Amino acid sequence: MYHGIGASKGYGIGRVTIYRDADLRYTPRSDCDAQTEKMRLNDALKLFFERNERLSERVRETAGESAAEIILGHMMMMKDPYMCSEIEKRIDAGQCAEAAVEAVCDLFIAMFSAVDDEMTKQRATDVRDIKSEMLALLLGVHTVDLSDLPKDTVLVAKELTPSMTACIDRKNVVGFITEVGSKTSHAAILARAMEIPAVLSVENATEKFKNNQLVIVDGIHGEILTDPEKGTVAAYVRLRMDFEKERAALEKFMGLETLTKDGEKVQLFANIGTPEDASQVIAYDGEGVGLFRTEFLFMDRSTMPDENEQFEAYKKALLIMKNKTVIIRTLDIGGDKEIPYLGLKKEENPFLGFRAVRYCLKNSEMYKTQLRALLRASAYGDLQIMIPLVTGVDEVRQVKTLIREIQAELDEKVIAYNKDLKIGVMIETPSAAILADVLAKEADFFSIGTNDLTGYTMAVDRGNADVAYLYSAFSPAVLRMIRHIISEGKKAGIPVGMCGEAAADPLLIPLLISFGLDEYSVNPTSLLATRREISRWSKQEADKIAESVMALETEKQIVSELSRYIHL
């Protein structure tokens, strides 16, 4: 048995086809004719755009709009003025088109790989995909046709790139195994959209497995069984049938309100990183967006997006959501999100340093550009602004002062915006949690960011394996803090949401119902499972569980007690 990361749930039973990367070696030259190389580059780009346009249409049909946007994102990268100009500069200096493309792509890959953030690292994978595709086109190398694989194929590859995934006929592929990748990679997102089980990060997978070898891919537990006996295959066939029944059961929650067992309504929102992700929220029946991470608009580029570009992005998300609530977090840079052109200084401990609202308030003109774009976009739907990394009431008041200044400017120019715009606070620091009663007087809503709140409360770097055991939202300290935040929001009469990963955890949901959480914001693919989990509990049942759990003293005791009630 081999182990990896279960990135797309389900059970795949089939025979291995190993995909090996094409040979893209070439001899670099530094004395090439620039005009000739630019013509070669333009020819390759034309083919690149034509191919990806076709792929995006195919993915739109097989996996939906949000999956197609991943492929379209590759096209946008290759149209980026900075990337194009850097490639042409190297060609003008005498490099061949292959070397110029590779050098610029490697520059972006190194930049994105250096950031300790999974979403940003995924950009590096996308650029590697683009580089391979462009080199293949320039070299005239024909890649393997993945659209014509045998029935019941388990595809094994070093890396499952979006362009590869887009070619696959989902009727013939029953599983993916790769050497690299994570749950948040675009390949994983596409695998989930295509409902194909996937286990990623299996070391030396292309060497460990053999073509035509019978394997079972367990995408739930991240396991691969090789050469299974008949009895084992039969057992997994039954598991696959049960899983399909479970998936069908979740489909029954499409179009329903999100209600507890005793009929108490809560809101079920989703977290997104781009305007295009809003399509996925609609596809999975989300009731709104609880967190739009705007920093991704500022990445993958050499200059800051101007006001109109930001306005169009926010407006696009609002139009997709069709008057449903969209909570947009203002720029949260620093920490693990480095944006070179903003000139952030290197810090010993960036998570405790000059980041998020601290940076924005010190760079007020840049911040006002974003706030002005947000206000203008608010005329197109239910946009709400959320301030990240708040530690005290002064920060909230300063942001509101800037917003009032912008409102006065827009009024003077007769530019429309929502005059009842709601401004909320992301509660992710212990100081904000302790001051929840004070902040509730200034904020229109709270949203609990459990990822950072857990890390800051427990004084844990979750990337440090030696202390990772302390990083848990089930710590008594974290649970008491969550309960306190919700309680203070209730007293002030403002809604309280949660946009951290814990909002989708079945173990935590009865506690959140008992505490009185108003809004759950989760990954779009977790929406239906979260709605079902909420429907399983009445307030009375949840209160009974909370009473026993909150009297316990350790994280281990709490998880053990909750596990008695939850059937995972």
- Evaluate if residue 381 carries a pLDDT over 90: yes
Work out the average pLDDT over 322-346. 80
Q: Reply yes or no on whether the pLDDT at 521 is more than 80.
A: yes
Task: Tell me which of 29 and 14 has the higher pLDDT.
Answer: 14
* Closest-CA residue to 48 (of 164, 133, 128): 133
Q: What's the rounded mean pLDDT across residues 182-194?
A: 74
Task: Read off the pLDDT of residues 196-251 as tens digits, 9 standing for 90 and up.
Answer: 999 999 999 999 999 999 999 999 999 999 999 999 999 999 999 999 998 889 98
- Please compute the mean of the pLDDT values over residues 265-290 and round it to a whole number: 91
Burial of residue 22 (number of CB atoms within 10 Å: 0-12, 13-18, 19+) = middle
Q: Do domains 146-251 and 267-566 have the same CATH topology?
A: no
Identify the DSSP state of 152.
T
- Residue 159 or residue 373, greater confidence: 373
Residue 144 CA to residue 139 CA, distance in Å, equals 15
Q: Is pTM beyond 0.85 here?
A: no
Burial (0-12, 13-18, 19+ Cβ within 10 Å), 50? exposed
Catalytic residue among 32, 96, 360, 499: 499
- Rounded to an integer, the average pLDDT of 421-432 is 97
Helix (H, G, I), strand (E, B) or coil at 133: helix
Q: Is the pLDDT assigned to residue 568 strictly greater than 50? A: no
Q: Does domain 146-251 have CATH number 3.50.30.10?
A: yes
Average pLDDT over residues 531-536: 96
Report the chain's mean pLDDT, rounded to a whole number.
90
User: How large a percentage of the chain has pLDDT more than 70?
Assistant: 94
Domain spans of the chain, in order of start:
23-139, 146-251, 267-566
Query: Above 60 in pLDDT, residue 396?
Result: yes
* 567 counts as catalytic: no
Q: State yes or no: pLDDT of 339 exceeds 90.
A: no
Range in 328-337, 436-445, 554-563 with the lowest mean pLDDT? 328-337
Catalytic residue among 186, 221, 360, 484: 186
Q: Which segments of 171-277 does DSSP mark as H helices, in order? A: 186-193, 205-208, 230-251
* 47 has a pLDDT exceeding 80: yes
Of 156-165, 238-247, 335-344, 503-512, the least confident? 335-344
Q: Could you report the per-residue pLDDT of 103-112, keeping only the tens digit for each? A: 999 998 888 8
Cα–Cα distance list, 468 to 237, 387, 427, 473 (Å): 36, 28, 22, 12
- Fold assignment, 23-139: Enzyme I; Chain A, domain 2 (1.10.274)
96 in active site: no
Q: Are the C-beta atoms of residues 302 and 294 closer than 8 Å to each other?
A: no
User: Looking at the domain that runs over 267-566, which CATH code has it been given?
Assistant: 3.20.20.60
